[in-house]
Structure 1
Amino acid sequence: MCVMRNHERLVALYYAALLAGAAPLLLDPHCTQRELAHFLPLVRPRLVLCDADRRDVVRAALVLGGDLTDRDLITDDQLDQFTAGHHGDLEHFQPAAVAEDARAVMLPTSGSTGLAKAAEITHSALVRQLPSLWSHDARFPRPTERALVTSTAQWMTFTNMLTTCPVYEVTLVLTPDRSLPTVLRIMETYKPTWMLLSPASAADVAAAAPPALRCLRRALLTGAAPPPAALRGLQRAAPSAQVLNSYGMTEAQGFVAHADSDTPLGSIGKIYNIFKYKLVDEDEKEVALGEKGELYLWSDCIIKRYVNNEEAYKESVAAGGWWRTGDLFTEDGRGNLHFVARKKFWFKHLNYQISPEELEQVIGSVPGVREAAVAGCARGAAAAVVAADGRRLRRADVHRAVNEAVSEYKRLHGGIAFVTSLPRTHTGKLDRAACAALLQQLVDSGQCC
């Protein structure tokens, strides 16, 4: 298990594990104690590697979530000691022999059923995905000179870029500090010709409009559906670049589509030919051209399992092995797909996927809470909370419980509102659409704070 920022030691560990046949679980460097403790018994790591300033958090998680001890915890400043005595004879080094469908990497992926799962990424899928990012380039090797990636290790894009760039002889630029001033300084220094950005990051970079953007030849936006203004803003700031929308997911072990230069603005373009796909309605019947439907995928690139979570995997697979993406699209007459909405309950904030059920479980642990519903708003997650009979609740207590349990991006930045009841379906389950509408009303009226 690796809990590290994007520095050279993490990159070295990534390649070392890949070539040794040891599959690392790559986690966000700012995971909380609770989130780490969730993964420890799930993947049962032999070693946990982390940045030195995360040692106390990880050590506390070891107590809660596993039978590992301090002897199995290695910080980045201890790696030289850890590797002492091992030879460095690269000329005679041989990678470990592994089956092509063996596990290469494990990555966390959020869903609609609570805490994150661990998706199993295979060697064969990483090989199949090698050309996907460069499918519109004519030059091999070195379709571009320098690629700047700000994804942290938990993202599939990080793994895609670390495996792809050496094969295509592209210099990969990473930085442990992902703040805008640092990213701008990195751009000025190394002048990337290719960038992978979230829509929010694209807007920030475009607003700053550093001179280095004139060196950019292609920018891919991924992680969320970008508003047309984000695409146009980056295009104005980087007039020599192709600014393209893209679509991928961890369960597809990489990218599924990205637009071309003649793709309509906002479209994700055509699905790669390593996937079969269809758009279906609620009855899993294919919809007509131009009609809205959920995207189903079939490919050898689709994961075969979540680690030690067979039930969650089965829930995501339809008859015939089709993968339910949970995303709604329409298709035009040229085969370009246009994103409509997310069908699943989870939502995104700052390009992170957030599970409402996970937050509801935490809120429900606060004394005096009867039940809660969480949905997304422009500021982030918001919660409607029902108090138990005769109990008085304070927003500060709920915020404190959530802040101690989850990462910063998951916290209730949209606020908390106390309500007497929550909308339900005729079967007694929470009516998620009605809950989201209620929370939006509470946010708009200023009752969520």
Structure 2
Amino acid sequence: MSGVIREYNTFADVIRRHAQERPDAPALTFKGDTHSFAQLHDATSRTANMLASRGVGPGDRVALISRNRPEMFELIYACNKLGAVLAPLNWRLSQREIAQILSDCMASVVIVDEIGEGLLPDESSEVPVLRFGPDFDEARAAASGDDPGHSGGPDETALILYTSGTTGLPKGVMLTNRGMSYTRELAKAWGMDSESVNLVAMPLFHIGGCGYGSSTMLAGGHTVLMAEVDVLEILALIPRHRVTHTFLVPAVVQSMLNAPEVADADLQSLQLLMYGAAPMGDVLLRRAMDAFGCKFMHAYGMTETSGTVVILEPESHDPDGPRSGLLKSCGRALPWVELRVVDPATGKDAMTGDVGEIWLRTPMVMKGYWQNATATREAITAEGWFRTGDAAYLDEEGHVFLFDRFKDMIISGGENIYPAEIENVLNGHPAVAEVGVIGVAHEKWGETPLAVVVRKAGQAADAGALIAYTRKNLATYKCPSRIVFVESLPRNASGKLLKHVMRDTYGATS
């Protein structure tokens, strides 16, 4: 495979090198407070030693439930300096979902902000909890600033990111030092170097946050972190810090364009806007290109691949050119990524233009699913090919055109939603006999879940009651926006739910 990195550097190795070679250069800014690489190196060593004093060692999991804050980057490096594994959890999940993940994770310590603390299970737990704030700051300051010195091997797990599965059960994706080291190569592909300034608005529990968010920092550049997406703040931060790069989902780009303030915003420093989770579309792209005046790049990847594996380069973003059709593509595989489109019926490569399942083979592919050998075997073949579950076709030049999702995944505002999760919850309601969930078009979020429900005989629960029930048990963004009641669901002779019929009936996104 061309482009394979023969050497790798861990997160810990990179921060050590930057602290030595460019100690005073800005590394991380949050709410106007900037830390240099030397300061970040010192803080991460102190955090590592604080964790070690609480019994955290190689291989131990450190769970994290928090909105974006600079300590989250510190913890990525601190855990790597110990050989521990950071597991940042989605603070948008429900308490039930968090409890399920914490039970699976078996963390040695849980670190929370005020939102994360409110999500901790009600029942008592022997796992110690650290809370961001004065106590955390004092404990870190009191710890030794000596580097613990751990330098992990290529196959050592650096991060566990939890992703929902088709069964509705969360799965912990184990990402290795080698897999995450390709973030440096991605930084080069995105034109980042030590002079770059990267605005990070994506949540750090997401690979688009902790992966993409690490890119410029690993390249020796300056990272400007946001607590969460705020359109007006984005427009203010770009000129304030002379931001050169950022990653945004199309829904956020559209919100920025709809803000009156964009007309007077100074965006001249912006060199590249990366987007993913959904195509930009030629109408939105034209507006964005006119307003932002920078290059655009489409990225395709997933948690299991340590981030981006396919890109549509800026040169292909020409909505008025002879190859404008490429805007429907997510691009071509990066040099160190092998990509196949496989006919699931035969297991052989599909012909050009024929739809099949995307298979990937690259050192970026996860080590496996934490404590789930069965799911790992189902996802990764004996030859090392990762089966994405995404359906696509290739053109003659190797451009990937997503066609559909074998897993029926819904993408709403850049968040992945699996219908099985919603179906599992609704099936627990006493009034629900059967339910099928599909994604339907939404003007703001791209897609939103629609639940088609068959009531149990004699039950009269209305749509509002069912939506409220899901909101008690699921993250709000996963909950259906609409409930449709029917007498029966479409099924084939074997009883399989025919979701393509449901999509046709209810005008779902194809």
Q: Same fold (TM over 0.5)?
A: yes
Q: How far apart, in 2, do the equivalents of 1:152 and 1:68 lie? A: 28
The equivalent of 1:87 in structure 2 is 144
The equivalent of 1:373 in structure 2 is 436
1:190-247 per-residue CA deviation (whole Å, 9 max, x = no partner) reads 23111111111122223443523222111111122332223222211122x1111111
Q: How far apart, in 2, do the equivalents of 1:44 and 1:225 lie? A: 38
Q: Which amino acid aligns with 1:418?
A: F
> What is the Cα deviation at residue 128 of structure 1?
3.0
The equivalent of 1:307 in structure 2 is 370
**Unmatched segments (≥5 aa) in structure 1:** 444-449
Q: Which amino acid aligns with 2:144?
A: H
Q: How far apart, in 2, do the equivalents of 1:267 and 1:346 lie? A: 18
The equivalent of 1:341 in structure 2 is 404
Tell me which of 395, 416, 427 is aligned to 2:463: 395
Q: How far apart, in 1, do the equivalents of 2:490 and 2:280 lie? A: 31
> What is the Cα deviation at residue 94 of structure 1?
4.1
Residue 23 of structure 1 pairs with residue 85 of structure 2:
yes
Q: How far apart, in 2, do the equivalents of 1:172 and 1:282 lie? A: 42
- Aligned residue for 1:79, secondary structure, equals helix
Contact map agreement 1:384 1:439 (CA 8 A) in 2: no
> What is the Cα deviation at residue 409 of structure 1?
0.7
Residue 424 of structure 1 pairs with residue 491 of structure 2:
yes
Q: Which amino acid aligns with 2:497?
A: L
Aligned pairs, number: 428
Q: Which amino acid aligns with 1:156?
A: I
The equivalent of 1:405 in structure 2 is 473
The equivalent of 2:129 in structure 1 is 73
Residue 324 of structure 1 pairs with residue 387 of structure 2:
yes
Residue 178 of structure 1 pairs with residue 210 of structure 2:
no
- Aligned residue for 2:500, secondary structure, equals helix
**Identity across the alignment (%):** 25
Contact map agreement 1:2 1:48 (CA 8 A) in 2: yes
TM-score (norm 1): 0.89
Q: Which amino acid aligns with 1:410?
A: K
Q: How far apart, in 2, do the equivalents of 1:384 and 1:238 lie? A: 41
Residue 44 of structure 1 pairs with residue 97 of structure 2:
no
The equivalent of 1:386 in structure 2 is 454
Contact map agreement 2:338 2:361 (CA 8 A) in 1: yes
Q: How far apart, in 2, do the equivalents of 1:235 and 1:353 lie? A: 27
The equivalent of 1:96 in structure 2 is 150
Q: Which amino acid aligns with 1:202?
A: V
Q: Which amino acid aligns with 1:360?
A: E
Q: How far apart, in 1, do the equivalents of 2:408 and 2:383 lie? A: 24
The equivalent of 1:362 in structure 2 is 425
The equivalent of 2:161 in structure 1 is 107
Tell me which of 229, 236, 240 is aligned to 2:290: 236
> Taking structure 1 as reference, are residues 109 and 273 closer, same or farther at Cα in structure 2, changes over 3 Å only?
same
Contact map agreement 2:197 2:216 (CA 8 A) in 1: no
1:361-420 per-residue CA deviation (whole Å, 9 max, x = no partner) reads 11111112112111111241111111112222222321221011111111111x111111
> What is the Cα deviation at residue 353 of structure 1?
0.7
> Taking structure 1 as reference, are residues 7 and 129 closer, same or farther at Cα in structure 2, changes over 3 Å only?
closer
Q: Which amino acid aligns with 1:412?
A: P
C-alpha RMSD over aligned residues: 2.2
TM-score (norm 2): 0.79
> What is the Cα deviation at residue 150 of structure 1?
1.0
> Taking structure 1 as reference, are residues 435 and 53 closer, same or farther at Cα in structure 2, changes over 3 Å only?
same
Q: How far apart, in 1, do the equivalents of 2:500 and 2:372 lie? A: 27
**Segments of 4+ moved more than 4 angstroms:** none
Contact map agreement 2:238 2:269 (CA 8 A) in 1: no
Q: Which amino acid aligns with 2:436?
A: A
> Taking structure 1 as reference, are residues 125 and 369 closer, same or farther at Cα in structure 2, changes over 3 Å only?
same
Q: Which amino acid aligns with 1:120?
A: M
- Aligned residue for 2:468, secondary structure, equals helix
Q: Which amino acid aligns with 1:157?
A: G
**Unmatched segments (≥5 aa) in structure 2:** 1-62, 317-325, 443-447
The equivalent of 1:447 in structure 2 is none
Tell me which of 259, 272, 276 is aligned to 1:218: 272
> Taking structure 1 as reference, are residues 162 and 214 closer, same or farther at Cα in structure 2, changes over 3 Å only?
closer
Residues 169-208 of structure 1: matches in 2 within 5 Å?
A: 169-208=220-259
Q: How far apart, in 2, do the equivalents of 1:261 and 1:43 lie? A: 40
The equivalent of 1:58 in structure 2 is 120
- Aligned residue for 1:189, secondary structure, equals helix
Residue 249 of structure 1 pairs with residue 302 of structure 2:
yes
> Taking structure 1 as reference, are residues 154 and 392 closer, same or farther at Cα in structure 2, changes over 3 Å only?
same
Query: Which range moved further: 432-441 or 282-291?
Result: 432-441
Contact map agreement 2:80 2:152 (CA 8 A) in 1: no
- Aligned residue for 1:231, secondary structure, equals helix
Q: How far apart, in 2, do the equivalents of 1:310 and 1:212 lie? A: 51
Q: Which amino acid aligns with 2:313?
A: D
The equivalent of 1:437 in structure 2 is 504
Q: Which amino acid aligns with 1:51?
A: D
> Taking structure 1 as reference, are residues 344 and 220 closer, same or farther at Cα in structure 2, changes over 3 Å only?
same
